[in-house]
Amino acid sequence: MKLMVRTAALFAAAILMVAIFATIRATAGSTYPSSSQQALKELRRSASLGAHWSDFGIGSSVRARIHTVKASGGESTEVQIKELTARSNEEVTISLFDGEHREDLLDQHYPLDIPGFAESNATRLADDSAMVAGKLRRAEVYKFTRTDKILYETRTIEWTFWLVPGVPEGEARRVTQETSTDPNNGDTDDVKLTDLDVPFVVGRKTLHCYCRDSEDKYIDGRVEHGRICYNSSVPGGVVKKDARITENGKETSRQDYVVVDYHVER
C-alpha cells in the first residue's frame, strides 16, 4: 500500500532485505465510520503510517517471524521486534530490533497525519460499488493528487479511494497510480478489502482480522502481490502479511510475516 511516502515501495524493499487462559475473540478493526463522509473526514489520520500505532503507549511491541525465499537461491528465517519508543503529536517512532540478539536495526518515524488527504483536497468522482467480503457495497469515490519535482523528473501520484460505511477505516478499495516524466518510472497499486473475519491464533489468543489484498504493477514488468491482515489489539495492527514479487511472470522472491507475540502499554 502507498501513502504520501510509498508504503508499497517500502514493503517491496523489505522483502528483498530482509495470554490468556481461554481463547478470546478480539475486535477485528480500529475504526468503522458510520458514513462515507466520516471516513473522508478521518482519512488524513486513518491512512497515515502511524495510524495503527496511535492508540498504544511507549513500550508497546510486537515480535514477528519473517521467512523469505529468493529465486536466486537464498532462503532465510528471522525474528524481528518492533517497539514504539517515542511519540509526539505529529509522529510515532518505531524501533526495529533483531529478535534473536536484540540488536538495534533502525528507527522509523511514522506520521500521524497526512495533510494532503485533508477533506478540502478531495475531488469527488462518480459513485461506484466495491466488493467487500463477497458483498457488493455502494461506495463514494474520491481522488487526491500530488506532483513532486525529483532531480530531473516530475512525478505525479493519484490516490483514488472507494469509501464505504461500516468497514475498517471506511476504506473498501484504494488505487494508487504514479506516473513520471521518466518513462522508466511508474506503477499502479490496487488494494482491496477482501475479508472481514479471518481468525489467526497468536499465543493463546484467537484474533479475528480484516484483510486487504493488493496488486502492484510496475512499468518494468515487476508485479507485487500482497495480503495483509490486521487486528486493532496488536501494536502496529499487522498480524500476518505475505508478499510475492514476479518479474515478467517469473517469481523472484516471496516473504511470509507472522506475529508470534506482542505486548501492549496504554
Q: How does residue 258 score in pLDDT terms, banded at 50, 70 and 90? A: very high
Tens-place pLDDT, residues 45-78: 999 999 999 999 999 999 999 999 999 888 999 9
Residue-range domain boundaries for the chain: 7-48+119-263
Query: Residues 33-42, buried b or exposed e (16+ Cβ, 10 A)?
Result: beebeebbbb
Where residue 30 falls among pLDDT bands split at 50, 70, 90?
low
Q: Tell me if 192 sits within 8 A of 214, measured CB to CB.
A: yes
Rounded Cα distance between 208 and 229, Å, is: 9
pLDDT at 99: 83
C-alpha cell read off for 245: 514479487
Residues facing residue 70 across a β-bridge: 253
> What pLDDT sits at residue 20?
25
* CA–CA separation, 186 and 184 (whole Å): 7
Residue 6 pLDDT > 80, yes or no? no
pTM of the model: 0.88
Mean of all residue pLDDT scores within the chain: 89
Position 253 scores a pLDDT of 97
